[in-house]
């Protein structure tokens, strides 16, 4: 089954304690698309400017990703500059240039609109709703978000949550959104806000999956070092979506649990190098080997 992924495609400049890299391919849709493409055909829906480098375009299409739903618009591509501090767990945004993102009005091709799995990767809730309004049939819909939208577009985000099968959010955002310091309690409160399932991403501590009367917890793949965590959460969501699509059926809770593990594994690759470098070079065999390792790490 094919996947429609809508989100941002960006040029990222990343500072870590050991290095600076400028104008790397970034954005939620890029990371999610590359992760999902390991498991299923991907339609990517986004907007970039005329300055978007040909090498980035060919990297995405080289992974078999359909770019027919990406608008190449007048103006500059969305840019993000961020800095990670010593422990790599917290980052600071140094600069954001929205540019073409401001006029993003997603329009889907019939093939993309008919995808059986839809991932609304991190972008404004208004854009997520605009995509959702165009899908045909009854796809399995996953939405990711971030603290910015909780703060400035809460109503839109609540509208998205009511329409999705799976809502993905990170640990700090879950606590903030629900005003609960207990993460399990936060997960159940998010469920009450409308989504059929909730995933709380916890970075180095793994992820929690909540469903109707059901619960699953996965650790993170045990990396001894992180080169650049940018896009790990997006790769997680993409890996989860790809896993659901690869199963070829409407997912049961156990399929979503397997998807959470797939997401954790693909996110771990992303952390191993700057930008999309590692996730763009992972082979199916490498991903399968890490899934097998993960099985050992969680068996008792």
3-state class of 111 per DSSP? helix
Looking from the CA of 142 toward its CB, the CA atoms found within 13 Å total 39
User: Can residue 181 be called a binding residue for a copy of itself (CB under 8 A)?
Assistant: yes
Q: Which is nearer to a copy of itself, 18 or 224 (CB)?
A: 224
Q: Could you give the CA distance from residue 59 to residue 138 in angstroms, rounded to a whole number?
A: 31
User: Can residue 258 be called a binding residue for a copy of itself (CB under 8 A)?
Assistant: yes
| Cβ-based neighbour number of residue 274 at 10 Å | 16
Among 22, 58, 61, 89, binds a copy of itself (CB under 8 A): 89
Q: How many residues bind a copy of itself (CB under 8 A)?
A: 36
User: Can residue 131 be called a binding residue for a copy of itself (CB under 8 A)?
Assistant: no
Looking from the CA of 238 toward its CB, the CA atoms found within 13 Å total 36
Among 20, 148, 184, 250, binds a copy of itself (CB under 8 A): 184
CB of 228 to a copy of itself, least distance (A): 14
3-state class of 77 per DSSP? coil
Q: Are 235 and 281 in contact (CB under 8 A)?
A: no
CB of 197 to a copy of itself, least distance (A): 14
User: Can residue 193 be called a binding residue for a copy of itself (CB under 8 A)?
Assistant: no
User: Can residue 14 be called a binding residue for a copy of itself (CB under 8 A)?
Assistant: no
Q: Which is nearer to a copy of itself, 19 or 184 (CB)?
A: 184
One symbol per residue from 157 to 176: x for binding a copy of itself (CB under 8 A), - otherwise; what is it?
A: --------------------
Q: Are 216 and 267 in contact (CB under 8 A)?
A: no
Q: Are 15 and 69 in contact (CB under 8 A)?
A: no
User: Can residue 249 be called a binding residue for a copy of itself (CB under 8 A)?
Assistant: no
User: Can residue 18 be called a binding residue for a copy of itself (CB under 8 A)?
Assistant: no
> Which single residue is written with the structure tokens 């993460």?
183
């Amino acid at each position: 089954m094919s996947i429609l992924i809508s989100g941002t495609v960006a040029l990222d400049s990343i500072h870590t304690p050991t290095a600076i890299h400028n104008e790397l391919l970034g954005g939620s849709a890029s990371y999610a698309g590359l992760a999902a493409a390991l498991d299923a055909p991907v339609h990517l829906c986004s907007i970039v400017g005329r300055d978007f480098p040909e090498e980035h375009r060919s990297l995405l299409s080289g992974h078999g990703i359909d770019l027919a739903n990406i608008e190449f618009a007048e103006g500059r591509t969305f840019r993000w500059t961020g800095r990670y501090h010593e422990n790599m767990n917290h980052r600071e945004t140094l600069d954001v240039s929205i540019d073409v993102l401001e006029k993003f009005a997603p329009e889907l091709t019939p093939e993309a609109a008919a995808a059986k799995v839809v991932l609304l990767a991190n972008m404004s809730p208004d854009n997520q709703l605009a995509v959702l309004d165009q899908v045909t049939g009854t796809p399995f819909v996953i939405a990711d978000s971030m603290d910015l939208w909780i703060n400035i577009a809460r109503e839109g985000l609540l509208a998205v949550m009511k329409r999705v099968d799976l809502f993905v959010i990170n640990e700090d955002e879950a606590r903030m959104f629900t005003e609960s310091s207990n993460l399990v309690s936060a997960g159940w409160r998010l469920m009450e806000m409308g989504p059929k399932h909730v995933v709380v991403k916890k970075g180095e501590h793994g992820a929690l999956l909540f469903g109707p009367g059901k619960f699953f917890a996965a650790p993170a793949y045990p990396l001894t070092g992180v080169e650049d965590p940018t896009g790990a959460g997006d790769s997680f969501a993409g890996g989860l979506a790809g896993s659901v699509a690869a199963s070829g059926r409407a997912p049961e809770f156990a399929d979503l649990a397997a998807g959470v593990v797939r997401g954790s594994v693909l996110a771990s690759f992303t952390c191993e190098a700057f930008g999309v470098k590692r996730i763009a070079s992972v082979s199916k065999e490498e991903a399968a080997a890490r899934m097998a390792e993960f099985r050992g790490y969680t068996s008792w």
